Structure 1
Amino acid sequence: MHAERSPGPGRNRDRLRPGLYLVLTEPRDGYEILAELAVRAGLPAVQLRYKGDDQRHHVALARELRTITRGSSTLFIVNDRPDIALMVEADGVHIGQEDLPAEAVRRLIGDNMLLGLSTHSLEQVSAARSEPVDYIGFGPIYPTTSKAKPDPVIGPDLLSEAGRISAHPIVAIGGLTLKRLAHLDLQACRNIAIISEVAQAENPGEKMSALHTRFIEWRGSRI
């Protein structure tokens, strides 16, 4: 059994609840609509993962999603950009292995904002044990089309080992679908991060609710 881990002592940050962590990258139906559906579904978190070059548009999107999520149970996370996260008073920021070091980002954002870190190997999971982060992303578990240059596929088998050695809650990511949840060690992760499975769904609201509910049910039944 994998133990639930809580935030470090003396920190006021909201905990990331178990469930579907929705990542928004150019969703077909628009960022705002999917964010509204996520709030309605009670998802734990929505991450803005904007990859365009229009910085003013990036900030405007972040402000809009912050307005939509403010006061709800859905946390708002900004990908890559601690400066924008601070500008819009987001709940957190998520960084990658090639972004600013986690320690520098933590100093910048303070103790009240969530900080997530992407990891793509067991070595990186182990190295993250000493980083001032609140959770780690682990993947890609399966092949994904959400990145122009995706990291090498890890496969579902390593998720259990990552859960064993990680000092932080894990968000599993990469090509995850409703069917593939049945093949994952759901006790090894607190959340599943989904992009295309929701963004390309005929009914995104129904799909995100189904993924969130099924994950919670299956995770609980396997304890």
Structure 2
Amino acid sequence: MKLCFDLSLYLVLDPDLCGGEQGMVATALAAVAGGVTIVQLRAPNWKKRQWVSAAQALKNALEPLNIPLIINDHIDVALLVDAAGVHVGQQDIVPEMARQLIGPNKILGLSTSNAAHIKAVPQGLVDYIGVGPVFATGTKLDASPVIGLEEFATLMQIKSLPAVAIGGIGLGRVAGLRAAGANGVAVVSAICGQNDPQQAAQALRKEMAAYDC
């Protein structure tokens, strides 16, 4: 049975900003205490053994809190540690094959950055989409061109799945993205590398709550 999941405050862990495996676990736990609802491990420069070690440590820490752990791209790692799901990009394994590998009970996310991507999302296979980068970001060197808030709002009109905004998101931008139709916001440096990740998460939740009211 697939886990229920809440996309509202989606933390994408960066090992460089967090200070490696232990730092990512500590950041994730503090961020969850501050209101993060789902966590993704993304470490593009790491070797596979590091991925497995960090993924297992994060799974052990987050599972008792009922917080899903999503693995970016590496389906083998997700299966090895029995993570809650996988997130793939446009240049990664296609969603049809990803779903075949992970089975029907895992969460599958897909990155999109334009209308063609969103319209091509295979229905019934993908559970949510990431849309962006909305704003300029320095945490993903191979990111697609920035789409901006206006284009993001346009894309929200054609989505058929829950959508998470990603790319350059921090305080002052959450309410606008929610108003534009985002089901959640994905953040990296707004929490990773902050002096107090719990407080950083709480501030983002506060801005989100102000819009929701």
TM superposition score normalised by structure 1: 0.87
Contact 1:38 1:46 in 2 (8 A): no
Equivalent in the alignment of 2:113: 120
List per-residue Cα deviations over 1:126-145 (Å, max 9, x = no partner).
11153610000000000000
C-alpha separation in 2, matches of 1:43 and 1:17: 9
The equivalent residue for 2:147 is: 154
Specify the alignment match of 1:28 in structure 2.
18
Instruction: Measure, in 2, the Cα distance between the counterparts of 1:104 and 1:131.
Output: 13
Task: Indicate the residue corresponding to 1:179 in structure 2.
Answer: 172
Structure 1 distance, partners of 2:209, 2:86, is 24
Say whether residues 1:81 and 2:81 are aligned partners: no
Shift of 1:162: 1.8
Please state whether the residue corresponding to 1:53 is helix, strand or coil.
Answer: coil
Is residue 7–residue 183 contact of structure 2 (8 Å, CA) maintained in 1? yes
Q: Is the 8 A contact 2:14 2:188 kept in 1?
A: yes
- 1:1-223 maps to which residues of 2 (within 5 A)? 12-26=1-15, 27-29=17-19, 30-128=23-121, 130=123, 132-186=125-179, 188-218=181-211, 220-221=212-213
CA distance in 2, matches of 1:55, 1:206: 32
Structure 1 residue 55: Cα displacement: 1.3
User: How far did residue 18 of structure 1 move?
Assistant: 4.2
Task: Give the structure 2 partner of residue 5 of structure 1.
Answer: none
Contact 1:39 1:73 in 2 (8 A): no
Percentage identity across paired residues of the two chains: 35
Distance verdict in 2 for CA 1:73–1:42, change over 3 Å = farther
Question: Is 1:95–1:118's contact at 8 Å kept on the other side of the alignment?
Answer: yes
Q: Detail structure 1 runs of 4+ shifted over 3 Å in the superposition.
A: none
Deviations 1:151-180 (A, max 9, x none): 100001122222221111000000011112
SS of residue in 1 equivalent to 2:109: strand
Where does structure 2 lack aligned partners over 5 or more consecutive residues? none
How far off its partner does 1:75 sit? 1.1
Q: Is the 8 A contact 2:178 2:208 kept in 1?
A: no
Structure 1 unaligned blocks of 5 or more = 1-11
Q: Which amino acid aligns with 2:203?
A: A
Alpha-carbon distance, 1:21 to partner: 0.1
1:87-137 Cα distance to aligned partner (Å, 9 max, x none) = 101011000000011000101101110000000112111111536100000
96-105 vs 46-55, which moves further: 46-55
What does the per-residue CA deviation read over 1:76-97, in whole Å, with 9 as the maximum and x for residues that have no partner? Answer: 1000111111110101100000
Corresponding letter in the other structure for 2:128: Y
TM-score scaled by length of structure 2:
0.91
AA matched with 2:18: R
Between 145-154 and 39-48, the greater mean CA deviation after superposition = 39-48
Aligned residues: 209
